[in-house]
Structure 1
C-alpha cells in the first residue's frame, strides 16, 4: 500500500492506494508516496475543497461486507449539495436505520464517499471524521447543502 498526505481546510488527510484503487482516506499524517492515482486523487480532493469539483472519478475499493459496500454505493449516489437521511437509505436497502448509521460511521473513504451527506431523521447528527460535527457542517456548507439543522 502507498500513501500520500495532503493539506485540506479540515486538516491533513492521508490517501491510501492498494492494487490500483483508493482504499482509504483518513484525517492525519501518513506517507508521502507519489503515484499517478494518488496524485490524481490529491488533485480531485483539493479541487473539491476549492469548490471546483462536485464528483470524484477515482477507482475505489471498499473493504468490508456486501452491506458496507451497498451503503457506500448509496452514499455515492447522493448528489453534491443534497442530503438523505439514514432512514431513506435504510428503506431503499430494506434494513434498519441504525445499521445504516453504523455503516456510515465505518466509511473508509470519507469525503470521496460522502457520508457527510447523510442526516438523522431530525437533522444534523454526528460525524466520525476529525472535528466531528463541525467538519460535517463545513463540508455541507462547502456544498451549499440546505435542510440541515445546526
Structure 2
C-alpha cells in the first residue's frame, strides 16, 4: 500500500507518494494519484515535504530521502545520472545520454525525463536543450524556469 499527501508550496500544490520504504512519486496536481494509494500523511511524507519546502526557499541544495522510482533499466540509469547533476548546474540531453552510456540516445533520455516519477527530487529540471533552451517539463516550463531560478541558473 502506498500513501499520498498533498502540500501547498510556493510553486503550487504538490502530491508526494511513499511506499513505506521510500518516495515513489511526485505530482504537480491533486487530480492524479498512483494506483493503490491512500491519501494519508506519514512521517516520511512530512519529511519529504519539509525538505522540498527548504529547497524551494533556497535553504537546501540536496535531498536526503530514499528515492524508489519504478521504470525500465535504461530509465533508472538516466535517473541516476540526473541525481549526479550538481545544484546550480545543467546538462544537455546529449550529455545525459553520453553519461548514461549511449551518446546517441538523446530522444530516449527525453522520454526517460518525461517519465521521471519523482521530479524535483530527481532533478530532471536541470536537463536543457543543446542550444541552452528550456525543453519540456512535467510541471510545465514555467515551473522548470522557477526551479532553475531558485538555483540561479
TM-score of the superposed pair, with normalisation by structure 2: 0.89
After TM superposition, the runs of 4+ consecutive aligned structure 1 residues lying more than 4 A away are: none
What per-residue deviation string (whole Å, max 9, x for no partner) do you get for residues 76-129 of structure 1? 100110001110111122321111111011110001110000011111233332
Give unmatched runs, 5+ long, in structure 2.
none
Task: Tell me whether 1:82 sits opposite 2:89 in the alignment.
Answer: yes
Task: Tell me whether 1:135 sits opposite 2:140 in the alignment.
Answer: no
* Partner secondary structure for residue 75 of structure 1: helix
Give unmatched runs, 5+ long, in structure 1.
146-150
CA RMSD, aligned part only? 1.3
Alignment of 1:1-150 (within 5 A): 1-29=2-30, 32-95=39-102, 96-130=105-139, 132-145=140-153
Give the whole-Å Cα distance in 1 for the aligned partners of 2:48 and 2:85: 20
1:148 aligns to what? none
| Number of equivalent positions | 144
Give the whole-Å Cα distance in 1 for the aligned partners of 2:20 and 2:5: 15
